[in-house]
Amino acid sequence: MASLQNNAHPEPAKMEQIINEFFAKSLHIILESRSLYVSSRNSSCDPTVTSPSSSSSSSPSIRSRNKWFNLALRECPAALENTDLWRQSNLDPIVVDVILMKRQGPASLSPIKDFGRWNADEEEMGVEAKSEKIVERWVLQYESRKAKDSNSSSRRSSNNSCSLYKKLILLLRSLYASVRLLPAHKIFRDLNSSGQVLTFTLFHRVSSFAEPFNRKEDAEMLKFGFTPVDTSCGRLCLSVKYRPSVSDVSSESSTPISPRLITDYIGSPLTEPLRRYPSSGLPSHGSPSSLPFSRRHSWSFDRCRASPPSIVSSPSPTHSEPRTSVSNVGSRRFPPSSLPPHPPEMSIGQKNKTFDEYYPSPIMSPSPSPSPPIYSHGFLLSRALKRSESAPVNIPTANVANCPKNAHRHDLLPSPSRTDRGLNMIQYGATAEKLSSLGRDESKRSSGLTASHALPQISFSRCSSRSYQDDSEDHDFTCPFDVDDVDMIDPSSRPGALDHVHMGEMLETGGLYPIRLSQDAAVGALVHMLKKAPPLRQDSCTSEEFSEGATPQTYSINTREDTQIQESPILSSMTSSGFLTRRTTAEALEEFQGYKEMKNSLLMPGSKPCS
């Protein structure tokens, strides 16, 4: 407004500026309530972001831009980025497609926003995923009048910049209200409510031209055209085509999940239907911009933690994220091959590390988003829930498929990846609070032992979550979320040592096996894993050495002999005792000492013939 009252600029320049800003503002209004990247709803939960001007992060230019048309909006990175792109394009039309996508599609989708490019990609997408649907198409364009009648009409419409500005204010108010009334807004709302896990998502494409709808689509869409606003040399047109009903999609797939379900998720058949939820594969679905807010939090965590070098500092994470993760995935991809099972020690060591080093710090820090913690809580709980729910089915395979890769990687990378650590942590969180204290009790040898008992379950829950994810994608996206799940662990439970008796009970009742496998099958899986396990190094009883033993180096150095000899005791003790008949530190220690002697005696005669 200020610029309008300033008469230093000639009228045409003012006009052009107004038109430019109108495009920008319109785009902002539309994307603000369609782009899930930054949701106004979520940010409104955060008192610091309730009003755009209160956000200290915004630069003055953004703030003053925000006053245009007397409509101050929340910041919307997606809009900002697209606006900046558009500004270079000299009054091209803006076409915004709002697309509803079901999540069971293939993994390689990514929203294309680069101007002029999306046609080609659109074709690709059309082939790969049939489950996306344009629910809204906004078309914003400036029709310039032909030179010959421009004079007369400009005089007739007597448009001075003030009257134009007023009309555009009114138009934008209407746009603002109607964006909230259209059916797509309901989807946006649903996706933003934390209590729901949805199988669909929204994303948008901003382009400079529209790919025409086919006849069927066209028939399904309703059109609402705002009255064009005349300017001195043309007119501004804004229209929307929208699907009058999107309820078929949004209603069928919403499943309210309440975080409190976590208490009885173990082995509950009730929760099983959720296992198939393709939404777990969602990060790969190309539109992180359309991810629920809370999840993005995890994403950023992932980026900061797991792959700092590959972070793309684009203003729109929409684009950078998929790529980041993909580049990231190279080291984290777990092909479902039959590699040797995950050595138990690895996890134990990681657990110890996890709690000692990483538990307190990383929880929320790297998120640039104003995501309220409570959101992520609920959400992550539900993630954990899903993960564990999925456990029942394909434990052994998944276990074999995924876990070994960890070990593999650890051989290559001396320091265990954080994502893996986080993974273990979530498993704790998801399993039971008691488990979370496992890693804590380092001074006792038995903690390691107990941890290895818990391990099968731990590996299962994690691997199984991968297992169905693998169906739709190759990337290991589980980990980043898990890291956040640290939140879930009640800090108060940390220092407490594991209640062994209780553990035993849980095991006996199948509590730790959320699995409907038979006990025998579970034992079998465990045995299989233990067979491949590296030694526990019972000659070192101190915690340092124990955790040292968990490092990859140690693992790889271990001789075969050691492995074979040392694993047998554990194995036998577990299989014969049904895991946990004697579970005190003393007993374990005693047992191990016995086996140590046995090993020594075995090694002695064995070495003699050789030498």
Partner 1 sequence: MNCEVCQLKELELEQFEIREVLRCILHTILFHRALGLVRPKDVDLELFDITYAQCGEDELEKKVDDKIEQFMSWVEKHPNKKSQICLSFYEVKNKHASWFSNKIERLYWEQWYINLNVTQHPKAHSNKSHHSKVADPGEGVLEDRKARSAVLESSLREVLFQIIKFVDEKKDHVPPIPSLERVITFPFEITIPSSSDSAFGMDMIKRMLQTGHPTMLS
Residue environment code for 354-370, b if the CB has 16+ CB neighbours within 10 A, otherwise e: bbeebbeebbeebbebb
CB of 201 to partner 1, least distance (A): 19
Residues 6 or more apart in contact with residue 90 via CB below 8 angstroms = none
The single-letter code of the amino acid at 546 is F
Our CB check for partner 1 shows the closer of 169 and 523 to be 169
Distance CA 340, CA 232 (A): 74
CB of 6 to partner 1, least distance (A): 13
Which two structure tokens, joined as six digits, stand for 105? 């599609």
Residues 6 or more apart in contact with residue 72 via CB below 8 angstroms = 51, 52, 53, 66
CB of 302 to partner 1, least distance (A): 30
Distance CA 336, CA 607 (A): 39
CB of 44 to partner 1, least distance (A): 8
CB of 244 to partner 1, least distance (A): 11
Our CB check for partner 1 shows the closer of 193 and 255 to be 193
Find the DSSP H helices in 358-394. 373-389
Our CB check for partner 1 shows the closer of 226 and 428 to be 226
Nearest to 459 by CA among 344, 377, 326: 344
Our CB check for partner 1 shows the closer of 176 and 334 to be 176
| The residue to which tokens 């989807």 are assigned | 187
Q: Report DSSP letters for 516-573, one per residue.
A: -S-HHHHHHHHHHHHHTPPP--TT--SHHHHHHHTSHHHHHH--HHHHHHHHHHHHHH
Our CB check for partner 1 shows the closer of 94 and 238 to be 238
Find the DSSP H helices in 432-444. 433-436
Distance CA 256, CA 600 (A): 58
CB of 414 to partner 1, least distance (A): 51
Q: Which residues contact partner 1 by CB under 8 A?
A: 5, 40-41, 44, 51-53, 67, 70-73, 162-163, 166-167, 169-171, 173-174, 176-178, 180-181, 185-186, 189, 226-227, 229
CB of 271 to partner 1, least distance (A): 27
| The residue to which tokens 């309530």 are assigned | 33
Our CB check for partner 1 shows the closer of 1 and 13 to be 1
Distance CA 473, CA 594 (A): 48
Our CB check for partner 1 shows the closer of 168 and 380 to be 168
Distance CA 497, CA 474 (A): 37
Our CB check for partner 1 shows the closer of 189 and 408 to be 189
Our CB check for partner 1 shows the closer of 71 and 312 to be 71
CB of 516 to partner 1, least distance (A): 38
Our CB check for partner 1 shows the closer of 33 and 406 to be 33
CB of 71 to partner 1, least distance (A): 6
CB of 500 to partner 1, least distance (A): 49
Distance CA 231, CA 233 (A): 5
Our CB check for partner 1 shows the closer of 40 and 328 to be 40
What are the CB-based long-range contacts (under 8 Å, 24+) for 81-84?
A: 81/113, 81/314, 81/315, 81/316, 81/318, 82/27, 82/31, 82/113, 82/206, 83/23, 83/24, 83/27, 83/28
CB of 199 to partner 1, least distance (A): 19
Distance CA 554, CA 72 (A): 60
